[in-house]
Amino acid sequence: MEYIKRMVVCLICLAAIATVICINLRAGDVVTNAKAAVLFEPESGRIVHSKNMDVKLQMASTTKIMTAVLTLESGGIDEPFTVDENAIMVEGSSMGLLKGDTVTKRTLCYGMLLPSGNDAANAAAVAVSGSIDSFVELMNKKAAELGLSSTHFVTPSGLDDFTDGHYSTALDMAKLTAYALKNEVFREICSTTSISLDLGGRSVWLNNTNRLLKECDGVYGVKTGFTDKAGRCLVTACRRGGVDLICVTLGDSTDWIDHKALYEYGFASLERVDLGGESYKVATASAGGCVELSAEKFSLTLEKGSSERIEKKVILPQFLYSPINVGDVCGQIVYYLDGGVIRVSPLTVLGERLPAE
């Protein structure tokens, strides 16, 4: 009898736990082990999920996102040069650079984004700015330009054992990544799983440390990171059904699992909605005719079900006056969601003057 009572109590407890889990899932809660995390929709800047996203933390080798961006933006990315032998003498992860190797900036970006080479990051810094210190100044200047107010760099590689001044936030890293992914070369490199590179007489084979490129549907980047101080850090980007999301976790011992779970939650919460394409006819002030105006088609990422709450206001003149040319903007459509403006689309002249109806 005592056994049966215990079983009943256990079943009640399990049912209560299951109920709490279901309530949490319905409320949109996603449990992670990260010190800080954010799931970010870059098109609108929407925060899909967050945990301590504004807390300043070390970000380890995800730092190399900034290093790679600045290297690619410096120009001449395919011009060969010899690596600085002092710059490549650095501890930690490496792409295997040796004294006398001939590289390009593109090569070094593969080296820092795939195997997370600290040697590649330092070599790129010297190639771009002449010294590591000058490059770090450039990193912080770029961070300020991008509005990353809670980010400060001390090294191009992300090594942080000797300093407390190297930090960022999950949200800042998401914003930086959104900017970096606009660079097609960066996007191509960080999505590469492996590559063989020539270093001027010898070759190296590089493998990407980002497991999710193979393990998570739609993932196309971006960067892993680890130091004793920062713990495991991971920045990824994923696209499904026309929706892009960026996920950042800092200090997360289960980052691979957490990113997968966050993406499942995020993509289940969002959808791509097609809007626009409307056309209207406006009378002309002379000749008794009318002109057709049209709005371009576009797509937006919205929370599932919210498209039913979209309203629009069409703003048109009562008459159009000559001269009227194809492509002229003669009105607009304002789209609202829950009272807030989500898009303003111009209405342009679609074709020649039409006969009056």
CATH number of the domain residue 330 falls in: 2.60.410.10
Please give the positions annotated as active site.
61, 64, 116
**254 against 3, higher pLDDT:** 254
| Residues 281, 251 share a domain | no
| Residues 201, 61 share a domain | yes
347 within 8 A of 330, measured Cβ to Cβ = yes
User: Residue 318: CB partners within 8 Å, gap ≥ 6?
Assistant: 283
Query: Measured between alpha carbons, how far apart are the two ends of the chain, in Å?
Result: 87
Q: Count the neighbouring beta carbons within 10 Å of the beta carbon of residue 52.
A: 17
| Residues 340, 231 share a domain | no
Residue 354 domain-assigned (yes or no): no
**28 against 337, higher pLDDT:** 337
CATH number of the domain residue 97 falls in: 3.40.710.10
Residue 23 domain-assigned (yes or no): no
What integer is the mean pLDDT of 22-51?
81
Pairing of strands 298-303, 46-51: unpaired
- Residue closest to 66 by CA, chosen among 166, 174, 143, 161: 143
* Single residue among 271, 301, 326 that ends a domain in this structure: 271
| Residues 300, 329 share a domain | yes
Least confident residue range of 13-17, 289-293, 327-331 = 13-17
Tokens coding 103: 């590289």
Residue 227 domain-assigned (yes or no): yes
Residue type, 251: G
What integer is the mean pLDDT of 258-267?
98
Residue 169 domain-assigned (yes or no): yes
Residue 108 domain-assigned (yes or no): yes
Domain that holds residue 42: 33-271
Instruction: Please tell me whether the overall predicted TM-score, pTM, comes out greater than 0.75 for this model.
Output: yes
| Residues 215, 185 share a domain | yes
Crossing angle between the packed helical segments 170-180 and 64-73, to the nearest 10 degrees: 30
| Residues 216, 156 share a domain | yes
- Residue 353 scores a pLDDT above 90: no
pLDDT score for 21: 34
| Residues 44, 186 share a domain | yes
DSSP 290-325: EEEEE---EEEEEETTGGGGEEEEEE--S-B-S---
d(CA 133, CA 127): 12
| Residues 196, 119 share a domain | yes
| Residues 338, 231 share a domain | no
* Single residue among 211, 240, 271 that ends a domain in this structure: 271
| Residues 296, 208 share a domain | no
pLDDT score for 350: 85
DSSP label at residue 137: H
d(CA 173, CA 179): 10
**Number of domains making up the chain:** 2
Residue 19 domain-assigned (yes or no): no
135: left (phi over 0), alpha (psi -120 to 50) or beta: alpha
Q: Provide, rounded to the nearest whole percent, the portion of the chain with pLDDT above 70.
A: 90
| Residues 245, 103 share a domain | yes
Residue 8 domain-assigned (yes or no): no
At 289, is the pLDDT very low, low, confident or very high (cuts 50, 70, 90)? confident
What integer is the mean pLDDT of 126-155?
98
* Single residue among 252, 271, 290 that ends a domain in this structure: 271
Residue 28 domain-assigned (yes or no): no
Model confidence over 209-242: pLDDT tens digits? Answer: 999 999 999 999 999 999 999 999 999 999 999 9
| Residues 321, 198 share a domain | no
269 within 8 A of 48, measured Cβ to Cβ = yes
Q: Count the alpha carbons within 13 Å of 168 in the hemisphere toward its beta carbon.
A: 36
